Amino acid sequence: MLEELLIHKPDDPIEFMINHLKQNNDDAPRICVLGPPASGKTTVAMWLCKHFNAIRVSHETLLFKEVLMQTEEAKAYKERNQKIPNALWANLIQERLSNVDCIKQGWILEGFPENQEQAWMLQSSGIFPRHVVMLYAPDTVLIERSGGKRLDPLTQEVFHTTFDWPSDPLVQQRLVEPEDLSEQEVSKKLLEYHRNFPEIFHIYQKVLKSINADQPSVDVLSQVLAFVQTRHRSAAPFTPRILFFGPPGSGKSLQAALIAQKYDVVNICCGQLLKEAVADNTKLGELVKPYIDSGCPVPDNLVLKLLTERLNALDCLTNGWVLSGFPRDVKQGEQLQKAQMNPNRVFFFNLPYESIMERLSQRRTDPVTGESIKEGHFKVNALQDLTGKDDMTTALFPSPAVLSGRGRRK
């Protein structure tokens, strides 16, 4: 929405944004499929349209399937065997993509833009793709492919006599050879494409992926789909809301403390939060205290109330938070989601069962601070290295700095 606002600069920004929210579908695909002749652009574009239920826009659809304001003018150039001007192509594309079906369902732009001027004109009209697929293959392969290309005049699907021949006899009978299939014509188009390709690559390099078209179509389509389903990470600032999962002994608490210290976010451990509520004698703490004293699990509704209250505190809302110890199951995760406490980063710590048992068997807890530390960290030699003291008292009762991990030898 901000991108559209900066491009169009409307007199009434509020009304413009309201209309944008009513009309635009920001999740709809906006994809360009580019490449030299016979690289498979049409096959890829039509397959993406079927997969996403999007609208395919190409030379053929703009000239022969759409009734646009400047269609007749473009056809006139075509009939005179003259090159259609870039500005005319840009106007046709802009008019087509502004229709409701393209806005709602998204669009797959096949073969556009063809050069730098077209790309600039589309950008000035507010048309910028989220993903650009650039197909490539050796020229010898492309020239060979062009000779076997066949077109279905009803569906506009492209087939090949060697690589992709239809199994339906009716389809086979109605296939026709596309125009300009001579080797000389294909070589001329390839030369023009190679001349324009570097400029287009430079414009779309941040959203572009080159895919080798000289491989089975199934592999090409799988690579294209994997790319267009990725979301580009925004550089806009955001409040971190981090969730750590993992079995006991996986290091969630330690990593949460390190993350909180490095990025200045609030470290929230669910177990520690319950103990603090009991120690502070809050209303929720009084309800939680009997469960903690008896060693029984605290009901989810009480934990969620306490957690919601803490996550809605000013420091969490402004600095962000890292949460460990909750949720522990699917039901708790659904409750957290209903409370609108959705994380934007989730990490799962995984390690073998043997490592978990080894870590837990060597874990010791400081009764004063409640911090846990591995038994191996209490060795006298290590503590001498850390503190510079040869005192047995120091070895048995390390300082809080040692317990917290600061200065620990790697």
- Average pLDDT for residues 210-231, to the nearest whole number? 92
- Average pLDDT for residues 66-93, to the nearest whole number? 91
Q: Look at residues 99, 70, 65 and name the one whose alpha carbon lies nearest to residue 86.
A: 70
Q: Where are the domains of the chain?
A: 2-228, 241-361
Q: If pLDDT is split at 50, 70 and 90, which confidence band does 81 have?
A: confident
- Average pLDDT for residues 352-363, to the nearest whole number? 82
Q: What's the CATH fold of domain 2-228?
A: Rossmann fold (3.40.50)
What is the structure's pLDDT at 148?
76
DSSP for 4-70, written as a single string = HHHHH--S-HHHHHHHHHHH--TTS-EEEEE-STTSSHHHHHHHHHHHHT-EEE-HHIIIII---TT
CA pair distance 325, 270, nearest whole angstrom: 5
What is the structure's pLDDT at 173?
84
CA pair distance 60, 125, nearest whole angstrom: 22
What is the structure's pLDDT at 156?
67
- In contact, 42 and 110? CB cutoff 8 Å: yes
Tokens matching residue 399: 């300082």
Nearest 10 degrees: Cα torsion 335, 339, 344, 347: -30
The length of the chain in residues reads: 410
DSSP for 242-294, written as a single string = EEEE--TTSSHHHHHHHHHHHHT-EEEEHHHHHHHHHHTT-HHHHHHHHHHHH
CA pair distance 208, 126, nearest whole angstrom: 18
Residue 382: pLDDT over 50: no
Q: If pLDDT is split at 50, 70 and 90, which confidence band does 372 have?
A: low
Provide, rounded to the nearest whole percent, the portion of the chain with pLDDT above 90: 32
CATH code of the region 241-361: 3.40.50.300
Q: In this predicted model, what pLDDT tens digit does every residue of 155-186 receive, in sequence order? A: 767 777 776 777 888 888 888 877 666 778 88
- Average pLDDT for residues 338-367, to the nearest whole number? 82
What is the SS3 assignment for 165? coil
Type of residue numbered 170: L
Residue 285: pLDDT over 90: no
Type of residue numbered 1: M
CA pair distance 347, 223, nearest whole angstrom: 26
The DSSP secondary-structure symbol of 216 reads -
CA pair distance 70, 67, nearest whole angstrom: 8
What is the SS3 assignment for 296? coil
Q: What residues contact 196, with CB distance under 8 A and at least 6 apart?
A: 114, 115, 116
Q: In this predicted model, what pLDDT tens digit does every residue of 297-336 receive, in sequence order? A: 888 888 888 888 888 888 888 889 999 988 888 888 888 8
